[in-house]
Amino acid sequence: MRVVVIGAGNVATHLSVAIASLADMEIIQVYSHTEIHAQVLATRLQCDYTADLSHIRNDADIYLFALKDQALESVICSIPSNNGLWLHTSGSMPISVFSGFTERYGVLYPLQTFSKSREITFEGIPLFIECYRKEDKELLEGLARRLSGNVCELSSEKRRSLHLAAVFACNFTNHIYALAEEILQKEGLSRDYLFPLIDETASKIHEMPAREAQTGPAIRYDENIINKHLAMLADDSAVQTLYRLLSQSIHNKQQ
Amino acid sequence: MRVVVIGAGNVATHLSVAIASLADMEIIQVYSHTEIHAQVLATRLQCDYTADLSHIRNDADIYLFALKDQALESVICSIPSNNGLWLHTSGSMPISVFSGFTERYGVLYPLQTFSKSREITFEGIPLFIECYRKEDKELLEGLARRLSGNVCELSSEKRRSLHLAAVFACNFTNHIYALAEEILQKEGLSRDYLFPLIDETASKIHEMPAREAQTGPAIRYDENIINKHLAMLADDSAVQTLYRLLSQSIHNKQQ
């Protein structure tokens, strides 16, 4: 099975490395708008690369579009037609983005955060698949099940909500970590102190819904502590506002 | 060494159970304003209990005040005097809250989130200690080091900042999880799907600062996705505002 990877970012890198590790799967080409990115990934995968859409090979079985949403549409309408199965990896783009450009298309959305510098195993990552034609479902589902033990069919509409939830659970959570680290840094305190707390907070919700796991001054809207904290954040009004709104939200959702 | 535990909430429960498990340490009494709470913890520790401040025993070596901040001051000024070492466990209250009531006092602040229903081992929990009299430091530090391999001396002022960072890293993070779960629940999707993502987001920052680990549409302020998400949150304006401010904050802090 030959695969062309379109994109060379975090998702493209991790997904193509995982696919290349499967028996009988071969990445034959990487495309990226930025030639050096295509080259770096192609070197890792030991395959060809191109930064020219018109040079994308037309003899692959699978075309994996792992691109930013803004780039996806313009790339789809610019590549030469072929008979492969076109898959995108976006949580927020509907499957219909391919409509009119090919008859064989689907979605393979991995619900995970990827950084190039960090190794990750695909085994437990939830993969959400959607297929336009019934005839292609076996191919897509087979690929997904070889990558992960956690595969689920999902409509574009539900995937959109899943992606929104993931922005909270990952992107916003990570930013909250960054704000906590900033507070410690200002005091010359090591960010390492937070790891046991962060790990326990994440572990805890495997056992109970987050609403039940909630602790801290905001549940009972303890104005004494909350006002002290707001005063400590006086030099950063954006973070101060976030503190206030998050505390109010905790209090309101607990009622 | 005899210990009286004042409080019967999450911190009191976990800390007293951990102390009771140490050789030569005995919890002799539990106080709580709510008698049934005192009784439940005392039963677990196999010791006496009281809901009457005037009945707190005066023959203990350590008095552990694990109370909500609001309750701490009024309890301190209401208990009979004694010669034990008085310790509170609050991140946000200064050590000076004891001043004028006794000469022997300090702080033992565990940086962790506790729920009564969840077992936890103290071994890796960072414990922050502060002592008023030099003569009592050995006792306090000795106790802390027997509970955890991660003990650090810290001033009240720095501890206050640590507590603020902990509110972000734990309470706000957990609330963000709760908002993500709510989004999935509305769509009838299992919250279990989020666990690998949440776990990886927490693990990742052991390896890199949160700012470097940041992913998602807000970094580049991708208005296409952000506006779609804001539209999806139209039925909950408080959460919609949080989404917008968190995205703006990510974007601003990445610059």
Cβ contact (<8 Å) for B232 and A164? yes
Q: Which of B166, B175, B180 sits opposite A250 (nearest CB)?
A: B175
Q: Are the beta carbons of B201 and A176 closer than 8 angstroms?
A: no
Q: Percentage of residues in chain B with pLDDT exceeding 70? A: 100
Q: Which of A197, A209, A248 sits opposite B111 (nearest CB)?
A: A197
Residues sharing a CB contact under 8 Å with residue A136, sequence separation 6 or more, in sequence order: A85, A104, A105, A106
Q: Are the beta carbons of B18 and B122 closer than 8 angstroms?
A: yes
Cβ contact (<8 Å) for A218 and B171? yes
Reported as a pLDDT band with limits 50, 70 and 90, residue B186 is very high
Separation CA A117–CA B64 (nearest Å): 46
Please report the pLDDT score of residue B119 as a whole number.
87
Q: Is the pLDDT of residue B192 over 80?
A: yes
Please report the pLDDT score of residue A176 as a whole number.
98
CATH class entry, domain A159-253: mainly alpha
**Which residues of chain B make contact with A129, given a CB cutoff of 8 A?**
none
3-state SS string for B49-80 = EECCHHHCCCCCCEEEECCCHHHHHHHHCCCC
**Which residues of chain B make contact with A115, given a CB cutoff of 8 A?**
204, 208, 212-213, 215
**Which residues of chain A make contact with B207, given a CB cutoff of 8 A?**
118
Cβ contact (<8 Å) for B198 and A70? no
Domain coordinates in residue numbering, chain B = 2-154, 159-253
- Cα distance from A9 to chain B (closest Cα, Å)? 11
Q: Which residue of A has its CA nearest to B124?
A: A196
Residues of chain A with pLDDT under 50: none
Cβ contact (<8 Å) for A193 and B162? yes
pLDDT tens-digit series, residues B13-54: 999 999 999 999 999 999 999 999 999 999 999 999 999 999
Please report the pLDDT score of residue A109 as a whole number.
98
Q: Percentage of residues in chain B with pLDDT exceeding 90? A: 89
Separation CA A89–CA A31 (nearest Å): 15
In B85-214, DSSP assigns E strands to: 85-88, 105-110, 127-131, 151-153
Q: Which residue of B has its CA nearest to A124?
A: B196
Please report the pLDDT score of residue A118 as a whole number.
86
> Fold for domain A2-154?
Rossmann fold (3.40.50)
Please report the pLDDT score of residue B157 as a whole number.
97
Q: Could you tell me if the ipTM is greater than 0.85? A: yes
Of A57-61, B113-117, B138-142, B175-179, least confident by mean pLDDT is B113-117
